[in-house]
Structure 1
Amino acid sequence: MLLTDIAVEHTLVSKKNGVRQTYLLHPFTNTQRDTLGKFEIIRDISEPGFKEVKRSTFVTFQQLAELYAKGVLEEFWFSVRMCPGQGTYPTANPVKKLLPTSIRPGSPFDQAVQKVDASKPANRDLRTALLRMNVKLQG
């Protein structure tokens, strides 16, 4: 499932011939058994004495809305795995940082974000998913 309520333009320039292709990208849900119907969020993590690594975890539609509402995606520099709405992307699906301005106003996702009570602590499933990313939410 594509989450077309969020859209980001992305231009890819071919290394072979310099041709530019512009794609309209959207978050998409995974199709694998354990992560079926969840969105992949990615974060670069660097620890003293180690090289920087990318870590990812999967969150539900509602958890993604909660992360937006609480500003966690921006605060901790998360990216979201994206794919084009039309056609196919020529390489591995890219990851993009998503700003709240990428959300279509009045869309179902925008409404889900607005319904989140940011003062309430995150549920245990979301806190556990984020611990893998070295992010500790209160609650």
Structure 2
Amino acid sequence: MLLTDIAVEHTLVSKQTGVRQTFLLHPFTDTQRDSLGKFEVVRDVREPGLKEGKRSTFVTFQQLAELYAKGTLDEFGFSVRMCPAQGTYPAKNPAKKILPASIRPGSPFEMAVQQVDVSKPASRELRTALLRTHVKL
């Protein structure tokens, strides 16, 4: 399932030919067993004693809205794995940052973000999921 409430434009330049392709990307839910119906959030990890690289975890629609509402995506440098609505992406689907301008006004996702009570702590499931990315809430 695509979350079309969020749309980010992305330009890919071919290394071989130099041809530029522009894609309109949306977050999508995974189709694998354990992460079925969840969105992938990705974070670059550069911590002492750990191998430098990317760490990711999967979150539900409501958890994604909560992360966005609380500013966690921006604070910890998270991106969301995206794919085009039409056609296929020629490489691995990129992870992009979600800016407020990327969210369609009045959409169900924007409503879910507005309904989050930011004064409440994150749920146990969300905190557990974020531990994979070395983030403690």
Shared fold by TM > 0.5?
yes
The total of aligned residue pairs comes to: 137
The aligned residue for residue 135 of structure 1 is 135
- How large is the RMSD of aligned CA atoms in angstroms? 0.9
Deviations 1:76-132 (A, max 9, x none): 000110000111000111111111221111000000000000001111000101111
SS in 1 for 2:22: strand
Contact between 1:38 and 1:61, CA under 8 Å: does it hold in 2? yes
Q: Which amino acid aligns with 1:135?
A: V
1:28–1:82 Cα contact (<8 Å) kept: yes
**AA partner of residue 75 (structure 2):** E
1:20 corresponds to 2:7: no
Q: Which runs of 4+ in 1 moved over 4 A?
A: none
Contact 1:68 1:100 in 2 (8 A): no
Q: CA deviation at 1:41?
A: 0.4
The CA distance in 1 between the partners of 2:64 and 2:121, in whole Å, is 15
Number of the residue aligned with 2:55: 55
Distance in 1 of aligned mates of 2:93 and 2:115 = 30
1:53-92 matched pairs, under 5 angstroms: 53-92=53-92
- The one-character-per-residue Cα deviations of 1:30-73 (angstroms, maximum 9, x if unpaired) are 00011000000000111224441111000000000000000000
Unaligned runs of 5+ in 2: none
What TM-score, normalized by structure 1, do the two folds share?
0.95
Structure 1 portions without partners, runs of 5+? none
Report SS of the residue matched to 1:101. helix
Q: What SS does structure 1 have at the residue aligned with 2:26? A: strand
CA distance in 1, matches of 2:91, 2:98: 20
Summarize deviations over 1:5-36 as a string: whole Å, max 9, x none.
00000000111111110000000000001100
